[in-house]
Amino acid sequence: MRIAIVDGYTDEPAGLGVPPYIDVYPRYVAGAAKAADPGNVVRYFTVDSMRGDWPAALKALRGFDMVVVIAGVTTPGKYLSGTPISYDELLDIGRLEGPVKILGGPVARYGYGLEGGSIAHPPSKFRRYFDIVATGDVDLVVYEALMHGLEGASPSARHEGYELVDEFAVKGAFVVQQHPHFANLVAELETYKSCPRYVSGGCSFCTTVAYGPVVYRRPEGIAREVEALHAAGVRHFRLGRQADFYAYMAEDTGREDLPRPNPEAVERLLRGVRAAAPLLETLHIDNVNPGTVARWPRESAEVTKLLLKYGTPGNVAAMGVETADPRVIKINNLKADPEEAFEAVRLISSIGAVRGHNGMPWLLPGINFVLGLPGETKETYELNKQFLSRILDAGLLVRRVNIR
Ligand code: SF4
């Protein structure tokens, strides 16, 4: 079988796949195709590479047996190295005659719409054009379709654990070499699904908790994937696919809203990654819950020091502060009050701001605000400003302030 993967790029709260990042979706799909049959031929295209001659690119896709499109931007940003696939481009591919067409990624789960919370086109719109709109894990859906035919594939199929993911991840690592930005790529790595805060329902605006109970991926599986990516030529890695890096394998997950970090497990993970990639140049993380850091300062300090030991400079602990208005925090079941968020910034900045070999601070907090949350008033913005001024007055460094 000849399988084409079209990367229309993805951006979610826990996962980035806009260049120079390559997310897990196309890599896992490539691995699923090889796991189904090592003789399957996989070709990877980015939507940007197709735009050079769109009609010719569409014509080329017609020559494949299966076309898998990955797309979905649920946390829109400003991108410098790539432009996510447009709605019309998605439909153009959906209208192709010949190949089996499968749509996967956040767009298949939540729909298409660049305005964050508002979805302009629900997933049902794409069912007219694609043979399968994979609301589950697209790699597993592709695997089932290749193994059992279209009728044997459930669009909502989801991995129950990480056994197959670990296999697909290793077998699909080769596909990075087909990326136009290769080898200047950052490979996004997955450490777990869902968010420990699912026990309390999670933050009002967040879709991550929809995955249900947290399932952690073992350090050995991640290390094997890194080894395969490193062998394929990847030198830059980000442990970004998780709700809260500091909560990796945290004890009391499933019982506590903010479970206690497990520095031992974090060290096993980081040590394994470094051992698997001796020529690694970048090891960064994404997503840290300020509530975890404030509630567990001793363990969080340990994790921060581990990131200095095993990570590389220029790292960002992106923290969803969201708002500094206590009323908005309560209404939206957010994770930390302003005092806790400040303490989290202080702890990470005071340990992580030392300069690394390239002159950059090793690890700084990043601050994410979400605007437009239920309960906001004019005063909310004043409180947000005061929160930022307090950080400035305290002389603490942050890498960036992200406003969504
Ligand atoms: S802490 Fe809140 S925003 Fe972050 S992943 Fe969990 S539920 Fe979502």
Give 59-84 pLDDT, tens digit per residue.
999 999 999 999 999 877 789 999 99
Residue 207 confidence class, pLDDT cut points 50, 70, 90: confident
Q: What would the mean pLDDT of 177-205 be, rounded to a whole number?
A: 96
For the chain, count helices (H), then strands (E). Answer: 14, 15
Query: Quick one: tokens of 156?
Result: 């909502």
Task: Please identify, by atom number, the ligand 1 atom nearest to the C-alpha of residue 291.
Answer: 1
Question: Distance between CA atoms of 347 and 292, rounded to whole angstroms?
Answer: 12
The CATH number for 183-403, chosen from 1.20.120.330, 3.30.70.990, 3.30.70.890, 3.20.20.70, is 3.20.20.70
Among the atoms of ligand 1, which is closest to the Cα of residue 196?
Answer: 6
**At residue 45, does pLDDT exceed 70?**
yes
**How far apart are the C-alpha atoms of 311 and 308, rounded to whole Å?**
5
What are the residue ranges spanned by the domains of the chain? 2-152, 183-403
The answer, yes or no, to whether any atom of ligand 1 lies below 6 A from the CB of 335, is yes
Mean pLDDT in residue range 11-20: 94
Q: Which atom of ligand 1 is nearest to the CA of 13?
A: 5
> Which numeric CATH code is attached to 2-152?
3.40.50
Calculate how far, in angstroms, residue 40's C-alpha sits from the geometric centre of ligand 1: 38
Q: Cα–Cα distances in Å, from 197 out to 174, 178, 219, 329, 331?
A: 35, 37, 22, 14, 16
Cα 155 to Cα 133: distance, rounded to the nearest angstrom: 6
pLDDT attached to residue 117: 53
Cis-peptide, bond into residue 183, ω within 30° of zero = yes
Terminal CA-to-CA distance of the chain, rounded, Å? 42
Confidence band (pLDDT; 50, 70, 90) for 20? very high
Residue 208: predicted pLDDT: 86
195 lines ligand 1 (CB under 6 A): yes
The ipTM of this complex is 0.99
- Cα 368 from Cα 89, distance rounded (Å): 31
Query: What's the pLDDT score for residue 115?
Result: 57
When mean pLDDT is compared across 82-91, 105-114, 353-362, the lowest value belongs to: 105-114
* Percentage of the residues of the chain whose pLDDT score is greater than 90: 94
- pLDDT at 114 (0 to 100): 57
DSSP 8-state assignment for residue 56: H
User: Is pLDDT above 90 for 116?
Assistant: no
- In the structure, what pLDDT confidence band is assigned to residue 89 with cuts at 50, 70 and 90? very high
Read off the pLDDT of residues 368-391 as tens digits, 9 standing for 90 and up: 999 999 999 999 999 999 999 999
Q: What's residue 310's pLDDT?
A: 98
pLDDT at site 113: 84
Measured from the CB, is residue 320 less than 6 Å from ligand 1? yes
CA 259 to chain centre: 21
Residue 211 pLDDT class (50, 70, 90 cuts): confident
| Residue 355 pLDDT greater than 60, yes or no | yes
Q: Is the CB of 203 under 6 A from ligand 1?
A: yes
Answer for the pair 144, 158: CB distance below 8 angstroms, yes or no. Answer: no
